[in-house]
A and B are shown apart, each in its own frame.
Chain A
Amino acid sequence: LYAAHKKIYVRSTSGLFARWRWTLVWLTQVIFFGLPWLTWNGRQAVLLHLVERKFYIFSWVFWPQDVLFLSVLLIISAYSLFFFTAVAGRLWCGYACPQTVYTEIFQWIEEKIEGDHVARAKLDKAPMSGRKFAIKSLKYMVWAVFALWTGFTLVSYFSPVKELLASIPTFGFGPWERFWIFFYGTFTFVFAGSLREQVCRYMCPYARFQSVMFDPDTMVVTYDEARGEPRGFRRRGEDPAAARGECIDCGICVQVCPTGVDIRNGLQYECIGCGVCIDACDPIMDKLNQPRGLVRYTTENALKQGWETSEITHHIMRPRTLIYGTILIGIIMAFFWGLFARIPMRVDVIRDRTPTGREVSGGMVENDYMLRFMNMTESTQTFVISVDGLDGIHISSDKQQVTVDPLRNQEEIMVVQAPKESGQVGSNRIYFEIVSVDDPNMKRREKAAFLYPK
C-alpha cells in the first residue's frame, strides 16, 4: 500500500566540500541565533514588530508602505537562486538550505551520542535495553533542547528577546509565542531529526524544477563514467592498465550520501549537490595512486568533450549566466540606492471634497486641506509647510509647522489662501512643500488642487 521509509545511515566525511558546508552552517547559524541579541540605539537591532506593523532593522524602521523593499529583496533572492544554480547547480540545497544545515547539526549531535553510521545501524537493530534507551533518550533530549532554542530564536525576531527570556522560567509566553516556539521547534525536530532527505525528495518543490535552470554548461556533481567504468574490485598487484575502470566499487559514495542516491547513476533529482561523494571518493583515488576527481564538479559538455578546467570556467560566462548576473547586480544596486535614498517621512494631502472653496474678505479664496504626516523616524520631527503654484498663495491657518512624535501619524488641517485673480475658476495645480527642520534632505513635494468657486 505504501513504501515504508528506509532509514539512511549517513557515513560522515571530511574534506573541502564538508568544510564549505560547515563554514556556511556556522555563518548562517551565528547570524540566525545571534541577530536578536544585538542592540541598536537602546532597542533590539532586528525586530519585526507585527503588531506595530513596523520592521526595525538596525538604523531603519520599515513601515507597511516600504513593502516594495521586501518584494525587491525576494526578487534578489530568486535571481540569486537562478544565477547560482545556472553556474554550479544546487548550491543552495547543498550548502545553505535550512533543511541541509539543521540536518547537518542534528547528525553531528547524533554521531556524538550514538557513534558512527555502523554503530547507529547496530543500535537500531539491537533489542531495547537500558543502554539503548539511555542513549536514545539523551539524543532526543539534546535534539529537543536545540529545536526549542531554534523556535525561541525565531520568535525572538518578532517579540522582544529580553521579555521572552524573562518569560522562560515562568513559561509566561503569550499564546502565539508559545504556539510558534513549539510549532517551529517541532518541525525543526521532525524535519532535521527524522524526515531529513524525505523533505528534499518529496516535499520540496525546488528539487522538481531545478532541471529547468540547468544546462549542459552547469557545474554539477558528476561521476566520470568514461573513466570509472567498468567498475570493479582490483586485486593487489593487478596491472593498473587492465581493461577495468578506475571505480573500485567500494560504495563509499553511496554510504556518505545524505539522500541515499548512487551518484554513479548520473544526475538525479534526489541529488542535492552537497559534494560529500567527492569528499569521500578523492581519498580513495589517492590511495590507489590515481588522479582525484572520479566524482567531481564538472559540466555535461566538459565530460563529453574532455575539456580542461580553464575551458569549463570559460563556459561559465555564457548568455544565461551573463543575463542573470546583470539583472541581479542591477537589482541589488537599485535596492541599495533605494534604501539610502529613502525619505523616512510621508505626507498625504487630502482636499476637502466640499465645499469647493470659499471667498473671504480681501478678495481672497480659501481651500481646506487635511495633511496626514507620517514620521517614520525614531526621533521627533518638526515639519515646515509651505505652498506654491499660484501668485500670492499662502497658508492662512495659524499653524505652519507641525511637530510629529517618533513613529507616529498625525493629521493637521491646513487652510490655504490665494488671491481671486491668481487662478481660474475650477481646479488649479498647487504644491505643498514639507521640509524637516532638522534635516533639509527630509523633504516632500506633494501635488494638490486649489479650487476657485464659480
Chain B
Amino acid sequence: MADFISGFWDLYVAGFVAFSLLLCLILMFANMTSQESGAPQLQGHVWDENLREYNNPLPRWWLILFVGTVLFSIVYLVIYPGFGNRKSTPENDAGLRREYAEEIRQAKAAPNNLEKYAGTQNLAALATDKDAMATGQRLFLTYCTQCHGSSGRGSKGYPNLTDNDWLYGSSPEVIRTSISEGRAGNMTPFKGVLSDAEIKMMADYVLALSKGKSEEPDYAQAKGIYMQRCVTCHGVEGKGSFLSFEATDIGAPNLTDDIWLFGGDLETIIDGIKTGHNEPMPAIKPMPTWKLFLDDAKLNLLAAYVYSLSKK
C-alpha cells in the first residue's frame, strides 16, 4: 500500500476493506431467521412460475464457518500485512517476502558451489574434472554460444575453439587471459600502403601459402613484399605469431593451414588485407573483457572448459 503518493488513498482502501467485512456480517445477521418450528417462512420471491425459497435457519457449523472466515481475513490482513499503510518488511511479513529473504540469506550463507574454483591454479587438471566441466558447459552455453556456437566451433569472425588451432596460444592460462582480458585483432589496414594490384597479389600469395605453393616462382615478388610488410607478425614461414615467436598478445594467424577466421575466398582475403582486422576503439573488443562481468571462479571454469574442447 506504500505505492500511493498521498496517505489519503491508504485510508480510502482500508476504509473500503473494513466496510466490506462489516457489511458481510451485517448482511448475514440481518437476513437470517431463527424460527425453527411452525410453518416454514418463505423468502417471498417466485422464480420460474412456482419456485419459492424457504427462509430456514442456518446450520450452526455453517454460521461458525462464516464468522470464522471474517475473523480469519482480519487476522490475515494484519499479519500479511495488507491494512492501511503498514509496510511489509521481511521482519513483519508472514508471507512470500519473508520466505524470499530467508532463501536469500541461506543462499548467501551456504558455501557457494562455484566459489571453490576461484583459486584453482591447475586449469589443465580442472579440465578433466567431470562435475566442473558440466558447470563449465552451462557457463559456456550462457555466455559464449552467441558467437562461438553451442558446439564451440565458432562462426565468421569468431574462432573455432575445438580444432586445436590457436591464435594466442594453446595453454589454458593463455585461454584464461583471452577470456578475462578480451581480444581484438591487430591486423593493420594496408589500403594506401599497398596498391590494389599489390593487395591482390598478396591475397594470391596468402592462398598459395595455405596450399603450400608459396615457393613457386610466380610468387617471388609477393614474397618480397611479405618479407617486408608481413613477416613481423606472421613470421618467416607464415605460421603466425604464436608458432613463430611464441607471442601471446599479437594473434596473427597461421597462414599455412586451411583454417580461416573470416573466410578463405579471395575476396574476403583482399578485404582483410585492405581494411585490416583491428578495432578503431580498443575498448570495444569483439571478444569482450569478461573479467568486468565474471568472477574468478567462472573465468577458471570457462578457460578449463574451452581448453577441454580442443582436447576431445
Q: What residues of chain A have their CB less than 8 Å away from a CB belonging to chain B?
A: 1-5, 195, 198, 202, 352-361, 366, 368-370, 397-398, 413-415, 453
Contact = CB atoms under 8 A, between A and B. Distances in A.
A370 B150 contact: yes
B145 to A, nearest CB: 6
Interface of B is mostly: loop
Contacts of A356: 155
A358 B60 contact: no
Interface stretch (B51-59, B185-193, B235-243): B51-59
A359 B160 CA distance: 11
Contacts of B145: 352, 354, 368
Given A359-B156, A368-B150, 10 more contacts: A3-B58, A4-B60, A5-B60, A198-B59, A354-B146, A355-B156, A357-B155, A358-B155, A368-B149, A398-B312
A358 B34 contact: no
Interface string B149-163: 111011110100000
Contact of A361 (B58, B155, B258): B258
B294 interface: no
A369 B258 CA distance: 25
B212 interface: no
B147 A355 contact: yes
B59 A202 contact: yes
A386 to B, nearest CB: 18
Nearest to B140: A413
B57 A353 contact: no
B264 A1 contact: no
B156 A453 contact: yes
Interface in B42-86: 56-63
Contacts of A5: 59-61
A358 B32 CA distance: 78
12 contacts: A1-B63, A2-B58, A2-B62, A4-B60, A198-B59, A355-B149, A358-B156, A368-B145, A368-B149, A368-B151, A370-B141, A414-B151
A355 B155 contact: yes
A453 B156 CA distance: 10
A4 B150 CA distance: 72
A368 B151 CA distance: 6
Give the residue among B32, B141, B153, B258 with the most A Cβ atoms within 10 A.
Answer: B153
Interface string B20-46: 000000000000101010000000000
Contacts, number: 72
A359 B260 CA distance: 10
A415 to B, nearest CB: 5
Nearest to B62: A202
Interface residues of B, number: 28
A153 B95 CA distance: 32
B153 A3 contact: no
Contacts of B151: 368, 397, 413-415
A107 B243 CA distance: 92
A398 B151 CA distance: 11
Interface string B222-266: 000000000000000000000000000000000000110001100
A453 B263 CA distance: 12
B57 A2 contact: yes
Contacts of B58: 2-3
A3 B62 CA distance: 10
A3 B60 CA distance: 6
Nearest to A398: B312
Contacts of A413: 150-151
B156 to A, nearest CB: 7
Interface centre among B57, B151, B312 (most CB of A within 10 A): B151
A357 B158 CA distance: 12
A358 B59 contact: no
Nearest to A366: B153
Contacts of B146: 353-355
B156 A3 contact: no
Contacts of A453: 155-156
Contacts of B34: 1-2
A368 B147 contact: no
B57 A1 contact: yes
Contacts of B32: 1
B154 A358 contact: yes
Nearest to A416: B151
Nearest to B149: A368
A415 B161 CA distance: 14
A262 to B, nearest CB: 15
A352 B149 contact: yes
10 closest cross-chain pairs (CB), A and B? A355-B155, A3-B57, A2-B60, A368-B149, A358-B155, A368-B151, A415-B151, A368-B150, A2-B63, A413-B150
A353 B59 CA distance: 63
A354 B150 contact: no
Nearest to B155: A355
